Amino acid sequence: MSRIPVILDGDPGHDDAIAWMLAKASPMLDIRAVTSVCGNQTIEKTTYNALRICTLLGIDCPVAMGRPSPLLAEPMNAPSVHGQSGLDGPKLPEPAMELSRMRSVELMAKVLRESEAPVTIVSTGPQTNVAALLLAHPELKNKIGQISLMGGGIAHGNWTPAAEFNILVDPEAAKIVFESGVPVIMSGLDVTEKALIFPADFERIRAVGNQVAGVVADWLEFFYAFHRELGYPGAPLHDPVAVVSLVRPDLLISKELCVEVETKGEYCRGATIGHDRKPANARVNLGIDRDGFADFLVEAVSTYGEGKQ
């Protein structure tokens, strides 16, 4: 079986980190590059976190830093969810690798140029880098097989009543991505708020006993503390659904829709409107087998070794 070449683009972030853990664990995926984007924290912090996560997980590929701000909007961060570092909680190893001299867009372009097979972009932060890539290198668009992104919500938002965080941070970029013609898999709040991992699952993960399992369990506890205050019965693992879409689509229920991004509007900037009045531009995930997802997470951490390390 030939593996799918992927670029992991994100703003880690606890759920980004768990998404990358799933990606590294899957024999179906070949991680060719990791690129940081500003979102959950500043670009300096998300880049440092990306390097630390890659070191922890043994992801051995170039890591590049993205733009310091969205395409047009002012930067916006989420310390209330992810802490001042963008990845508060357990102590992580210091980076064992150098940051690439290329910036995110140039590294993405290089990976696309050098790959014979179409490359999938897994985007778990604002769409800034992906849109900048499409603008700077339109000639490489046909080298992108698909974009599996976490963002938006057809039914509602989380950062405003209408908008989800990743889309709200850079709506102009999201609009470029959805209108690009590249196949998009959208995992928005409609599905990701159902991807709940409960405290009992944290303990199943911790019981696996290896270093990655312990860190993932600690990340889940940190991430859940914020959501528990809001009344969630578990941690909604938004970003990992963008990886599940590629490696375990059988766990998901989806629908082909036309998704349009509101970039104006006093109340609705950043909203994702899903409808069937125009041809579909996205496969939109709407449901998930929660128990199957929890089992899959436990299986994935188990691939990082047995017992205490």
Residues contributing to the site for ligand BDR (CB under 6 A): 13, 15-16, 40, 78, 81, 124-125, 150, 158, 164-166, 238-239
Residue 219: CA atoms inside 13 Å, Cβ hemisphere, count? 25
CB 304 within 8 A of CB 210: yes
Structure tokens at 39: 């979102």
Toward Ca ion, which CB reaches closer, 21 or 208? 21
158 is a site residue for Ca ion (CB under 5 A): no
CB 143 within 8 A of CB 119: yes
**Catalytic residue status for 238:** yes
Question: Rounded distance, CA 142 to CA 242, Å?
Answer: 21
CB 149, min distance to ligand BDR, A: 9
E strands present in the chain: 4-10, 29-36, 63-64, 119-123, 144-150, 184-187, 196-197, 235-236, 252-261, 272-275, 282-288
86 is a site residue for Ca ion (CB under 5 A): no
Toward ligand BDR, which CB reaches closer, 15 or 201? 15
Binder of residue 168, out of ligand BDR, Ca ion, none (CB less than 5 to 8 A by kind): none
Structure tokens at 103: 């910036």
Of these residues, 137, 156, 238, 275, which one is catalytic? 238
CB 98, min distance to ligand BDR, A: 25
CB 296, min distance to ligand BDR, A: 19
**Nearest residue by C-beta to ligand BDR?**
165
CB 78, min distance to ligand BDR, A: 5
CB proximity list for 78: less than 8 A, separation 6 or greater? 39, 40, 41, 165
Toward ligand BDR, which CB reaches closer, 15 or 170? 15
152 is a site residue for Ca ion (CB under 5 A): no
16 is a site residue for Ca ion (CB under 5 A): yes
Listed residue (23, 25, 27) closest to 6, CA to CA: 23
**Which are the catalytic amino acids?**
238
